[in-house]
Amino acid sequence: MEDKMNKENIEEVKVLEAQISCLQAEVAELQRQKQDSHKDMAFHLRGQVQDALSYMCGQRLVGGKEKVVSRLKEGVKELEDDLKRQTQLNGISLTSCATKTLESSDSKVVQQLCVSGHCSELVFQVEFQLTEVKEGQRSERTVSDLNVVMDASDLQNFSSFLSGVEESRDLLLFFRTLRTFSDRCDERSRTFQHFQNKYPAVVSLPGGCRSEVMTLNHPELPGCVLFVHWSVDVSREGGVAPKINLLTKIPEKALQLFPSQTVGGAAEAFQSLLRILGPEAALESVIRAVGLSQDT
């Protein structure tokens, strides 16, 4: 019995060893294909650069100027397509990038960079120093003197985060949070615009669809106004969270016509709707529930 079990274990080990060998062969083949792909790309780019340099140095090439220009155009088109794909993926468009070398040696390179661009409606300019130190085959890059410039008048809730990013010099956190913040602002803008288009006699946007405030005016009760204040808060650590509140403005005479408990509890009731329905459905419910919509 024991001999039989030993034989079975030996057979199972052999099967596992065979599977491991197959996997190792597959990994080796994938690594070879990856290296070949990198070599082909490097050769392709090197050939384009060499052709351009040769032409500028006065050396004649087979096909002459037209061939060089055609290759350069193809290279630029590939770079433009790659930039377009990157922009679609991360939502950030770069409009300019200026680089100035402050120090250069075999072991250390220090550059001053200034990058400008926009994420949806948010325009930014980022300035920083990039230091690359080489030690043998290894190299290490560090960011210093980070300065982010944005329109502070529209980004009160973003200012504390920007200060933290400049202190931590975390560029990845800045761009990731900028994208999330921009997406939340775009959602607010689309929602405000949707309700203004749907209820033009009721909904108004005093500061435009990009502002934080939407007002609801009762068609038959002048002076009775509901304010929807929708801010997008950003923590110092990069957390992005919408904050929506319902505020009321009702004249003293009108208050006498409504139960004070109902009016006073409007804000709390709205928060309950938000938790259950979400922003758009909650706002729609408020408009209909208080009789602001003539469709109800």
Cite the beta strand spans of 120-151 per DSSP E: 122-135, 138-149
Burial class (CB in 10 A: 0-12, 13-18, 19+), 25: exposed
Report CA-CA distances (Å) from 90 to 96, 119, 141. Answer: 17, 9, 23
In 59-151, which residue ranges form alpha helices assigned H by DSSP? 64-90
pLDDT of res. 122: 86
pLDDT in tens, 201-253: 888 898 888 889 999 887 676 677 888 999 999 998 999 999 999 988 765 65
pLDDT higher than threshold 50 for residue 296: no
Confidence band, pLDDT 50/70/90 cuts, at residue 256? low
Could you please state the CATH topology (level 3) that the domain comprising 92-149 is classified under.
N-terminal domain of TfIIb (2.20.25)
pLDDT higher than threshold 70 for residue 73: no
Q: Is the pTM of this model over 0.75?
A: no
H or E stretch at 291: none
**Domain spans of the chain, in order of start:** 2-86, 92-149, 182-289
pLDDT in tens, 187-203: 999 999 999 998 888 88
Q: Which of 18-32, 36-50, 277-291 has the highest mean pLDDT?
A: 277-291
Q: Residue 121: which of 181, 171, 170, 191 has the closest Cα?
A: 181
Where is pLDDT greater, at 83 or 155?
155
Q: Residue 192: which of 248, 240, 230 has the closest Cα?
A: 230
Task: Give the three-class secondary structure for 146.
Answer: strand
Phi, then psi, of 104 in degrees rounded to 5:
-145, 125
pLDDT higher than threshold 60 for residue 37: no
pLDDT in tens, 276-286: 888 899 998 88
pLDDT higher than threshold 70 for residue 104: yes
